[in-house]
Chain A
Amino acid sequence: RKEVEQDPGPFNVPEGATVAFNCTYSNSASQSFFWYRQDCRKEPKLLMSVYSSGNEDGRFTAQLNRASQYISLLIRDSKLSDSATYLCVVEYNAGNMLTFGGGTRLMVKP
């Protein structure tokens, strides 16, 4: 069983749509959770951290459900520039160690 699982997609959505991705993780001891964005053939970049209370950054909202061990990312009013792969990332010990999901590919169409 993979430690961090994501639907690989692709999610094809029109501009302006709302799209949501989920991710499940297996290590119940994990404390920190993140969404990274990775453009084609580029390095991953931190999009946002995921807090227990949920957090919002502009059009992006991240939520954590510890009981069910899943994390979600909601993107409202999708832009063409949102087209990328979104990586769900879970910290698995206090030494700054990360486990990456395989990513969910989003394609926003005009």
Chain B
Amino acid sequence: DGGITQSPKYLFRKEGQNVTLSCEQNLNHDAMYWYRQDPGQGLRLIYYSQIVNDFQKGDIAEGYSVSREKKESFPLTVTSAQKNPTAFYLCASSKLSAGDYYEQYFGPGTRLTVT
């Protein structure tokens, strides 16, 4: 089955600890994205990557870091510098072509709680 997997589904951390969220896709998509969703709010873009070994900051990149060493994988690290890390984190991927839009497929998400 093709799709996007995120693990774990729920994650609990103490304040001050860095934590890495996993995102893997086997759809052969070029582009991958990380979003954060807070209750009652829309998804906000954290980082995105359109090609291996390259990524760009989204609207709320502060306190986060990413890597894209493989086409299939786009892990997100929530650092201790992120002031309000408790949220629902969603990874997405899509094909990419100049001038065309391709649907973004989402993984099931990771709920991170930091106390």
Is A56's CB within 8 Å of the partner chain B? no
Contact B90 A102 (CB under 8 A): no
Q: Is the CB of B99 within 8 A of A94?
A: yes
Q: Is the interface of B mostly helix, strand, loop or mixed?
A: loop
Q: CB within 8 Å of A: which of B12-59?
A: 31, 35, 40-45, 48, 50
Task: State which size class the interface on B falls in.
Answer: 20 to 34
> Cβ of A96: which chain B residues have Cβ within 8 Å of it?
31, 94, 96, 101-102, 104
Query: How near does chain B come to A110, taking the closest CB pair, in angstroms?
Result: 26
Q: Once bound together, how far apart are the Cα atoms of A90 and B80, in whole Å?
A: 32
A32: nearest chain-B partner, CB-CB = B101
Query: Please, which residues of chain B bring their CB within 8 A of the CB of A46?
Result: 103-104
| B40 contacts across to A, CB distance below 8 A | 8, 102-103
A87 CB → nearest B CB, Å: 7
From B31, B42, B99, B107, give the contact of A43 (CB < 8 A).
B107
Q: How many residues of A contact B (CB 8 A)?
A: 22
The answer to whether residues A44 and B41 also contact, given A91-B101, A96-B94 and a CB cut-off of 8 A, is no
State A87–B90 Cα separation when bound (angstroms): 15
Provide the bound-state CA to CA distance between A91 and B104, in Å: 11
Contact A43 B90 (CB under 8 A): yes
CB under 8 Å from chain B, chain A span 35-74: 41-46
Question: B residues engaging A (CB < 8 A)?
Answer: 31, 35, 40-45, 48, 50, 88, 90, 94, 96, 98-99, 101-104, 106-109, 111
The 3 A-B residue pairs whose C-beta atoms are closest, nearest first, are A100-B42, A43-B106, A100-B43
